[in-house]
Structure 1
Amino acid sequence: MTQPPPPNQPPQGGGFGAPQEPPAGGFGAPQEPSGQGFGAPTPAPQGQPGYGYPQAPGAPQQPQYGYPQQAPQQPGYGQQPAYGHPTTPMQPQYAAPGPGGGPGGGKKISTQMRIIIAAAVAVVLIVGSGVYFASTRDDDGKKDTADKNTSQPKDGSSEGGSGGEKGEGEGQAGDGPGKEKAPANVNSKVAFQLPEPARTDLTDVQGSWVTDKAYVKPGVRSITGYDAAKGTVLWTLPLPGQICASSRQQPTDNKVAIAFEAGKRTPPRNYQKCTEVGVVDLAAGKLLWSKSLTSTTTGDGKVSFNEITQSGQTVAAGGLDGGAAFDLNSGAIRWKPTVNADQCEDLGYGGGPALVAIRKCGGYDNPQLIVQAVNPDNGTPLFSYKLPAGVEYASVVSSKPLVVAADVGDTAGSSGFSDLFSLDDKGTLRAKISATGDKFEARCRVTEVENCTKIVVGNGRVYLPTADHDGASEYGDTNEIVSYDLATGKPTSDRADAGDRYTMFPLRMDGGNIIAYKWPPYDAGGQVVSIDGATFKQTVLMENPSDRSVRESETAFSSDSAEYRFANGRLYVGATLMSKSSIGKKYLAVAFSTAD
């Protein structure tokens, strides 16, 4: 997601922040494979016009997001208009001839040809306006109710989101005002940098939690609490084996669920099953309890888990052996993995305000995936919704309101999902949103039920970053954050532009506002912004240093798998997987702060 330097400037070395040759498309500069799902970028097809590019009269192309948008800059001759939206009528601009006749140059255009081009643009704009008008009305000709419906709950949200509908005429989004405010000075400084710990093999370090006093991060067979401002060690909790799963939910009571291996890995196999489930007190740095389960379906061996989450006072763990749940405070078993006569078992769970299971029925050759809201106390299904036949994996993006991502027909592209399913509290489909191919930069790791990144839910909408595309600068990509209405499945008028040479993606909801991160160009630091959920106006909360060494530490992570946590004027970026060895200087985590 970085951009290359101007011509004749020597390249900079080290880290993912180093500029590369201009990419042919896709998701910007390539990043080091992280082993986490769909991190590898996929180049865009060549020779095709970008999204929203005007077509010849008589064959207009419908804009991707269904509404017109004032372009921040009118493109010159030979350039594409702003991505995804038709621009407002303006006189065509023509660049002076340049050497070689490339973009911005070439032969001058005759008066007759200018008239023809202007007429073609006018036709496209008229058609675009008609598309916009049609997209804001339902099949009965009534106005879209995206901004009127206030029937959704307004619960607070963690990553993945939750909440109600976007309010109309209230001056704020449906989920209410946010807590994050811009400081007097948004320029940050490096708070601390945690070096990668020594290791002998591929090491899972997923999990990042922020408390009032600490930033907590797993290492090798341990979890450590660091001073939130200085990075000094507050406590270290040794574990018998490597951590292998951790809850993505940000706890309100400083209790977080983890899964870990029972013993130390030994060469040459370096493998242990992920059998132990426990809860850590993040304030005290103590393991409150840990347990394992004996399988009731595969003999006397311990049940293995590969993901874990929590909802209220319930810890739910999932894996190939089925799902299980425990009491958060005592560790008492609430249910064990079972397989019924229909060969149905829970693959995993999405937590947060509600608990949602993804259940697989049938054999390997003909699986049927079912979405179930479950009672967290005993696992009893509250409702069931069958996903389309042939879907093998699904992810819970948000548990309340319920949004599920799935790959239908193997058309997902690099994102891991092709469609989003919005369900009501009775399990009835509200809307299906198509995200086929590589239109968006959001990612869902298909092997886990709760592992989607760069996508959040709030205000009755789902917010997605568009794929990277050419910006106004010759050397720099950009993109936008857009949204879809969960009640209708239609695109809304929301659009936040990353700005020239920046690309952005959402991190979490803050009330009705969206907290987003802007990946920096080669000569600047990253930014954290708050996007007003009602007006979509951006407020900069943090701008990181542009120094080369600092920028390289900030961009030394894969944005598809790294953990970004922003709270109390501080941004923490943490790794989730460390290879046996690293090329260049890498970090377990880095932190930036605008706080004194």
Structure 2
Amino acid sequence: MSQPPQPPQPPQPPQQPNGAPQGFGAPQEPPAGGFGAPTPPPPNSPPPSAPPGTPAPAAPPAYGYPQAPGTPPPAGAPGYGYPQTPPQQPGYGYPAQPGGQPGYGYPTQQAAQPAPQYGAPGAPAPGGQPGGKKPNTQLTIIVAAVVAVALIVGGGIWYATGKDGGKSDAKTGDTGGAKGDAGGSTGGGGKEKVPANTAAHVLFQTPQPKVTDLTSVHGSWLTDKVYVKSGVKQIVGYDPAKGTQLWTLPLTGNVCESTPHVSADGKTAFAFESMEAGSKYASCTEVAGLDLNTGKLLWQTDIKGANGDRKTRFDEITLGAGTVAAGGLDGGAAWDLATGKELWKPTTTADQCKDVGYGGGDALVAVRKCGDIDHPTINVQPLDPKTGQPISTYKMLPGIDYAHIVSTKPLVLAADVGDTAGDGSGISDFFSVDDKTGKLLARIPAPGAKYSASCDSTSVEKCSMVTAGNGRLYVPTEQHDNAAAGSSSIGRTNEIVAFDLATGQPVPGRADAGDGYTLYPLRMDGNNVIAYKDAPYDKGSQVVTIDGGSLKSTLLLENPADRAVRDALTSFSAKYSEILYGQGRLYMGATLLSKPYSASDSDKKFLFMATGTG
């Protein structure tokens, strides 16, 4: 997402890019050479204004405290127990304050809404103060004086940070979770443990195989027993620690679509290409189930279109609650994961309604598009995974052409309402929905200039750098200058912030990436968040676990700062690569391969690589 305009800054020394350092005194690249364990040879086998009636997002709470909706207190008269609102802009990643410019990382405060009636849930007590108490004049003066001193010491910038002045708060230690916070949520419950030594080294890597054109290699999976990666017309299982090949599954075409979801017994699904008679090009028509631990192909199938003269082409595939579901232009189809039994096939109703895609995981949710292709009606429907019958329906707002499923449990959607995101991310707003009733719980604005989550523009489930769980949505902010109070750094950084899915309001606190780092959520781990940290040019990237309640970070893994290792890792972008973490190991995999520009460029391209602390 694009970076919003920043206030004028004093002259600063030139900033080193995150990639290769430049100029005298910068570290120089060592002589070319391999790193890590030897690679086994490859096998021979081949918002705009919402429509009338749409509830507007609630105003963000004052810093540090959740606040009931209503008219904020006048400047200079803070409520009892609340800090005085400073006139300056709040720090990045914090809620907006009344009367000032909103802080970076939170939605812009909407126009004041009518205050709820007294006695209604969430309504302020009489007098406009919590509990009905009137402001204590003496306390107000004391609080204002303390804030004034803080502003002077901080150089006139209101920026709340930890003790390290905005540096990374990732620490080694327990990941058991916080006891609670202002929002009532707690962290913990995760399976990933902090290793005794978080320093990682390269475990294994596989160079990119030779290709003559853009080649799809979608799909990588991880179980307790195997790391699995698709390659050119094959899928290979590797020992997750040693990298030795455990099995190879040859295919007649390349894997074109895959799902990241894996069943409890280590099974998943994918789609791959086939060449139909009379066609010059392969098409994504074959769907299959796979036992990841053994490499056994459970079943393979395809479906003829409505006219019966060609196979249905699928644009994406998922696995939800034991059902494999695939969507495309002809509609959606589904199969039982264990047996491959067909559960339903693509259909288009008389009113031009069809399933265009699905979200999976613990549940199965369909995105159903109806009517005119230029002005469609989009319904999101949690399904009975065995029959395809809708459990509930949520109708997306007019002006939305594509709906994206971020999570099915909890049900969280994303969309670019009225094409207002403006940055190609596919997201201007998130929507939290009750999956049992189809009722909208909260609409969360996510301006492209503030947040860096992304969804493939036309796909249903291909969203990255965002995750949901623990009653919250976790979103990274865009990179911005590290303007922490007292910091002399010229580096850039970002944060992960959270929103309450029941109310849509921002949750107090944030997870700071640290000077020069950029932080992206990967997945939930119990009530915690596993996140990847891109590093500045002279440090190694990291994996951290973020307590889902307190948003405190704990270091799990730190990669070497060696130039050759960093160059290899940065060849996998956080947005477009497959990044998996488990049991102290990090796996980075490519999704598309292209012909190298030169022999030297070929040496820098990898199909995947793994690092670990063990």
Q: Deviations over 1:530-576 (max 9, x none)?
A: 11112222110111100000011111112111111110010101111
> Aligned partners of 1:283 and 1:333: how far apart in 2?
24
> Aligned partners of 1:125 and 1:436: how far apart in 2?
15
Of all paired residues, the percent bearing the same amino acid is 51
SS of residue paired to 2:331:
coil
Corresponding residue of 1:443: 454
**Counterpart contact for 1:394–1:446, Cα < 8 Å:** no
Q: 1:430 aligns with which of 441, 453, 461?
A: 441
Corresponding residue of 2:476: 465
Q: Deviations over 1:506-536 (max 9, x none)?
A: 1111111111111010001001111111222
Corresponding residue of 2:463: 452
Q: Does 1:508 align with 2:523?
A: yes
Corresponding residue of 2:211: 199
Quote the RMSD (CA, aligned, Å): 3.4
Worse overlay, 181-190 or 470-479: 470-479
Structure 1 spans left out of the alignment, 5+ residues: 15-63, 71-78, 89-121, 146-165
**Counterpart contact for 1:177–1:513, Cα < 8 Å:** yes
Instruction: Check 1:138–1:281 CA distance in 2 against 1; reply closer, same or farther (3 A cut).
Output: farther
Worse overlay, 420-429 or 432-441: 432-441
SS of residue paired to 1:341:
coil
Q: Deviations over 1:11-70 (max 9, x none)?
A: 8679xxxxxxxxxxxxxxxxxxxxxxxxxxxxxxxxxxxxxxxxxxxxxxxxx9654379
Q: Deviations over 1:374-413 (max 9, x none)?
A: 1111111111111111211111000011111111010123
SS of residue paired to 1:491:
coil
Corresponding residue of 2:493: 478
Corresponding residue of 1:274: 284
Amino acid at match of 1:505: Y
Corresponding residue of 1:587: 606
> Aligned partners of 2:456 and 2:406: how far apart in 1?
11
Corresponding residue of 2:591: 576
Corresponding residue of 1:411: 420
Compute the TM-score of the two structures, normalised by the length of structure 2: 0.72
Q: Does 1:184 align with 2:196?
A: yes
Instruction: Check 1:9–1:580 CA distance in 2 against 1; reply closer, same or farther (3 A cut).
Output: same
Corresponding residue of 2:340: 331
> Aligned partners of 2:543 and 2:229: how far apart in 1?
21
SS of residue paired to 2:326:
strand
> Aligned partners of 1:312 and 1:576: how far apart in 2?
25
Corresponding residue of 1:230: 242
**Counterpart contact for 1:201–1:270, Cα < 8 Å:** no
SS of residue paired to 2:567:
helix
1:8 deviates by: 3.9
Please give the residue correspondences for 1:72-471 in structure 2 after superposition, counting only pairs within 5 Å: 82-85=91-94, 139=116, 168=180, 173-174=185-186, 176-263=188-275, 271-296=281-306, 298-414=307-423, 415-424=425-434, 425-471=436-482
Q: Does 1:523 align with 2:538?
A: yes
Compute the TM-score of the two structures, normalised by the length of structure 1: 0.74
**Counterpart contact for 2:90–2:102, Cα < 8 Å:** no
Corresponding residue of 2:558: 543
Please give the residue correspondences for 1:7-26 in structure 2 after superposition, counting only pairs within 5 Å: 8-10=24-26
SS of residue paired to 2:568:
helix
> Aligned partners of 1:85 and 1:176: how far apart in 2?
24
> Aligned partners of 2:277 and 2:607: how far apart in 1?
20
> Aligned partners of 1:488 and 1:545: how far apart in 2?
42
Structure 2 spans left out of the alignment, 5+ residues: 1-16, 31-58, 66-87, 125-177
Q: Does 1:68 align with 2:80?
A: no
> Aligned partners of 1:189 and 1:172: how far apart in 2?
39
1:180 deviates by: 1.3
> Aligned partners of 1:457 and 1:483: how far apart in 2?
9
Corresponding residue of 1:566: 581
**Counterpart contact for 1:314–1:325, Cα < 8 Å:** yes
**Counterpart contact for 2:489–2:515, Cα < 8 Å:** no
Corresponding residue of 1:102: none
SS of residue paired to 1:279:
strand
SS of residue paired to 1:409:
helix
Instruction: Check 1:86–1:372 CA distance in 2 against 1; reply closer, same or farther (3 A cut).
Output: closer
> Aligned partners of 2:530 and 2:268: how far apart in 1?
23
SS of residue paired to 1:413:
coil
Worse overlay, 401-410 or 360-369: 360-369
1:197 deviates by: 1.3
**Counterpart contact for 1:173–1:532, Cα < 8 Å:** no
SS of residue paired to 1:324:
strand
1:125 deviates by: 11
